Amino acid sequence: MSMDEYDDDEEPDEYDEYAAFEEEFFDEEKAYDHDKAPLTSIPMFEYYQKMYAKNMGNEDQKAVALFKQYESQEKLRRFQNELMNIKSSQVREATLDRVVGKARKGRWVSYEKFGGLMLLWINSAKI
């Protein structure tokens, strides 16, 4: 069909397909950008995970007590700050899935509750 065969109100199918593709593309892009949390890394938690939690068989309460006992006050404060960020939903979900793990989310219902429990365990751990 040539352009002369279309009415003024009707547009070619190619345009409709492109418009539909463009609309679908931008909708999909918005779907991936739903997580607006500012933090994308939690290095002290990664350190804790590698040095303490894995060696304790993911027994977080015992691992936190050891972390508090053997690490410096500066590292402990940084770790607590990261846990407060987790508790207040300031860390992206994808980062938490990768670093903290979905198993912990399932066990403690949410990352926010897990962060709160970890803070509680740090404060109750005796040196």
pLDDT tens digits for 55-98? 888 799 999 999 999 999 999 999 999 999 999 999 999 999 99
Q: Which residues pair with 39 in a beta bridge?
A: 91
Average pLDDT over residues 11-23: 56
- Choose between 44 and 32: higher pLDDT: 44
Please tell me the predicted confidence (pLDDT) of residue 30: 47
pLDDT level of residue 41 (50, 70, 90 thresholds) = confident
pLDDT level of residue 46 (50, 70, 90 thresholds) = very high
Residue pair 101/60 in contact by the 8 Å Cβ criterion: no
Average pLDDT over residues 40-52: 92
pLDDT level of residue 115 (50, 70, 90 thresholds) = very high
| pTM beyond 0.85 | no
Mean pLDDT of all residues in the chain?
Answer: 81
Please tell me the predicted confidence (pLDDT) of residue 17: 62
Task: Give the N- to C-terminal CA distance of the chain in Å, as an integer.
Answer: 82
Please tell me the predicted confidence (pLDDT) of residue 37: 66
Helices (H), the chain: 13-32, 43-48, 60-70, 73-87, 93-99, 102-108, 111-124
Q: Which of 72, 56, 76 lies closest to 119 in space, CA to CA?
A: 76
Please tell me the predicted confidence (pLDDT) of residue 125: 87
